[in-house]
Amino acid sequence: MKQADQRNYRWLRQSLTYALMTAASAGTVLLVTGRSPSQTATRFPYETAQYETIQSEPALTEAPAAVLTSPADESTLLAQANGTERLMGGANFIATAVERVGPAVVRINSARTVTASRRPVIFNDPFFREFFGDMGVPDQPTERIERGTGSGFILNANGIILTNAHVVEGADQVTVTFKDGRELRGEVLGEDPLTDVAVIKVEADNLPVVSIGDSDALRPGEWAIAIGNPLGLDNTVTAGIISATGRTSAQIRVPDKRVQFIQTDAAINPGNSGGPLLNERGEVIGINTAIIGNAQGLGFAIPINQARAIADQLIANGRVEHAYLGIQMRTLTPALKAEINADTRSGLRLQADQGVVILGIARNAPGAQSGLRLGDVILSMNGQTITEADQVQRTVEGTAVGEAIAVTINRGGQTVELSVRPGNYPTEASARR
């Protein structure tokens, strides 16, 4: 090989190596800037294959034409290189978001006194009780202090903080610790167990606050950043993506909640509860609240749009009204229909093929008072066809207490029209403290 050819060969190898390193690095930049990952996926195999061929073959006769085939390829590589330089030059959107939001994330320590009745152990001994009976020995009250730690974030500069209801449930004392080390006594303005949202007030002003995003606009695959205090490790940051939206309470195994959860694979651990879930712009899109045990990458957050609406009611009234009918229901499927019709003890005979079947009604509940019966199959509500139980739940939640809902049902093969009025969910409301 001539000396000039050897120089060209070395130059080509260096150029190819740089091009491949740039392309590999640019994969991250493409995701950050929102370009389709498929564009990267289709380009990498081609460039890598050509690189391996050139490295393994001593001849260079046709290799150059296969690497840079047109000015468009050169400009593409240049754009990717510029994107890589921006990322490596400090344009890290996660760090930027955390620096902006971190000061508004707080640790919440709560303590509550639990009283229980207990008699001395000796009086529970079967031998002792056989001979002496109860002997009028009273139970002895005992008290213990239960402590918990969670997270929260500051909504406004005057000390309004949003967190989970289970973080402060039954708390006698709440302490809020800020990133700068300050500790302030917190007052629980209200808790809503059904959505697991609570509002705390501290006496302070000019506090750092978060920016609020739009959880209704979320799409699976977007970036997700979690900040909180897992296991006492303050201001821990984890990142991932939005894995799904609209996860029902039943799907994530908390059927007593009324939330359409955001699912994320950003790591959430005990102590993260109540902390913010952010988008790539550092806007709060959810409140981290739940994980599924024995699983990885399955964290759940309350959408911020719903949380803000609940918080507004808690701040104004100290409680939240939730419309409910008091029915147990399931989506009707062919298998469920066959099972119910085959059960002679139920006394039910379903004729409808789809809808939502009522399998239980609480005594004196609004549903019963409105004329709903066991075995009724809900076909539509307010003119909207009903095929899933979740649709019924959402319709009721979107209705004010006492407001009429036009319901069409199938009852034993007959179509019946009812006007159903939800009542207020019978939970012990947390009054303003």
Residues annotated as catalytic are 166, 196, 273
At 188, phi and psi to the nearest 5? -80, 115
From CA 284, how far away is CA 224, in angstroms rounded?
Answer: 10
182 is written with which tokens?
């300050």
Alpha carbon of 405 to those of 59, 319, 413: distances in Å? 79, 24, 22
Report whether 341 contacts 353 (CB < 8 A): no
Buried-exposed string 416-431: b where 16+ CB fall within 10 A, e elsewhere: eebebbbbebeeebbe
Q: How many CB atoms lie within 10 A of CB 399?
A: 19
From CA 82, how far away is CA 74, in angstroms rounded?
Answer: 12
* Cβ-based neighbours of 246, under 8 Å, separated by 6 or more: 260, 261
Q: How many CB atoms lie within 10 A of CB 270?
A: 14
Report whether 406 contacts 389 (CB < 8 A): no
Residue ranges with strand state E in 86-182: 105-118, 140-156, 160-163, 173-177
Q: How many CA atoms lie within 13 A of 260 on its CB side?
A: 15
119 residue type, one letter: R
Residue given tokens 């994320």 in the structure block: 264
Report whether 170 contacts 145 (CB < 8 A): no
* Helices within 179-333 (DSSP H only): 304-317
From CA 84, how far away is CA 284, in angstroms rounded?
Answer: 27
* Cβ-based neighbours of 39, under 8 Å, separated by 6 or more: 30
Give one word for 150, left, alpha or beta, with left for phi > 0 and alpha for psi -120 to 50: beta
Report whether 234 contacts 98 (CB < 8 A): no
